[in-house]
Amino acid sequence: MSDRLAAIVTGSSSGIGRACAAELARCGWDVVTHGLEGAETVTGDMADPATATALVAAAEQRFGRLDGVVSNAGAGLTKPFADLDDENWRQLYEVHLAAAARLLRAARPLLAVRGGAVVAMSSLAAGHALDGRAAYGAVKAGLEGLVRQVAAEWAPQGIRVNAVAPGTIRTPLVERNFARGLLDEQAVLSRTPMGRLGDPGEIATVVRFLLSADSSYVTGQTLAVDGGWSIFGG
């Protein structure tokens, strides 16, 4: 068994997830990475219950421990509420909420051994109305509710559970949404007091903090990392 801390990061093939995995590795963590394709340690759709089990098994077999989980895998959808069908709702529920619940459930026994930590990736859409984000915002709000409930239940076992709600971060997905007209970059910048988009690394350092002993008295919280977007009053 390694003395190094070990973590699982889902959705780590690009963007915020890749930055989180890289930041943890830079700080000496062993990391089980995940994605739908490529050279990740574990591949699979997080909507498939077997993927959560495989991720936890990989951590146990390779490192003999699990100290942190970053539930980051997700999918976006911009569509007016009136146009959403049952399949849209099912897909977003499965990948954002049900998959996170399965991963936490599978990871709990190993996390409880040394008192680990979980970070779930939420969104500003959980608490703010955004155009075309009814389904996405609803499942992210559910995720934040899950974080609070599980944090309360698992605190006696020494497991902390928190969420991060990123602002608009310059990821490949966001760049594609700008190009397709699904996001207006200038509108985002004018609403953001810091006047710029975030970098994936700026989310990753917050995630690392929430997984570390530096946040040992923090649980059940959602931390907005958004350049001030959520406090804008103008």
Q: What is the pLDDT of residue 172?
A: 85
Q: What is the pLDDT of residue 188?
A: 87
Provide φ and ψ at 43, rounded to 5°: -110, 155
Whether residue 174 is predicted with pLDDT greater than 60 in this model: the reply is yes
Provide φ and ψ at 94, rounded to 5°: -65, -50
Provide φ and ψ at 23, rounded to 5°: -65, -45
Q: Are strands 160-166 and 6-9 parallel, antiparallel or unpaired?
A: unpaired
Provide φ and ψ at 42, rounded to 5°: -125, 130
Q: Which of 1-10, 43-52, 178-187, 219-228 has the lowest mean pLDDT?
A: 43-52
The strand pairing partners of 119, in sequence order, are 70, 162
* pLDDT, greater one: 43 or 211: 211
Q: Which of 30-39, 129-138, 168-177 has the lowest mean pLDDT?
A: 30-39
Spatial strand order in the sheet of 222-225: 42-43, 30-35, 6-9, 68-71, 117-121, 160-166, 222-225
Distance separating alpha carbons of residues 30 and 59, to the nearest angstrom: 9
Distance separating alpha carbons of residues 50 and 48, to the nearest angstrom: 5
Active site residues per annotation: 136
- Residues 150-165: b if buried by 16+ CB within 10 A, e if exposed: bbeebeeeebbbbbbb
Whether residue 76 is predicted with pLDDT greater than 80 in this model: the reply is no
DSSP 8-state symbol, 213: G
Distance separating alpha carbons of residues 171 and 153, to the nearest angstrom: 34
Q: What is the pLDDT of residue 108?
A: 98
Q: What is the pLDDT of residue 1?
A: 62
- Map out the domains of the chain with their CATH numbers: 6-168+199-227 (3.40.50.720)
Q: What is the pLDDT of residue 149?
A: 99
Q: What is the pLDDT of residue 36?
A: 44
pTM of the model: 0.92
Q: What is the pLDDT of residue 40?
A: 42
Closest of 25, 36, 32 to residue 60, by C-alpha: 32
Q: What is the pLDDT of residue 35?
A: 61
* pLDDT, greater one: 137 or 34: 137
Q: pLDDT category, 233, cuts 50, 70, 90? A: low
Q: pLDDT category, 38, cuts 50, 70, 90? A: very low
Q: Tokens 């953001």 map to which residue? A: 192
Side-chain-side CA neighbours of 190 within 13 Å: the count stands at: 6
Whether residue 182 is predicted with pLDDT greater than 90 in this model: the reply is no
Average pLDDT score over the chain: 90
Largest CA distance in the chain: 54
Distance separating alpha carbons of residues 176 and 38, to the nearest angstrom: 20
Q: Tokens 């990989």 map to which residue? A: 58
Whether residue 79 is predicted with pLDDT greater than 80 in this model: the reply is yes
The strand pairing partners of 69, in sequence order, are 8, 118
For range 19-33, the mean pLDDT: 93
Whether residue 28 is predicted with pLDDT greater than 80 in this model: the reply is yes
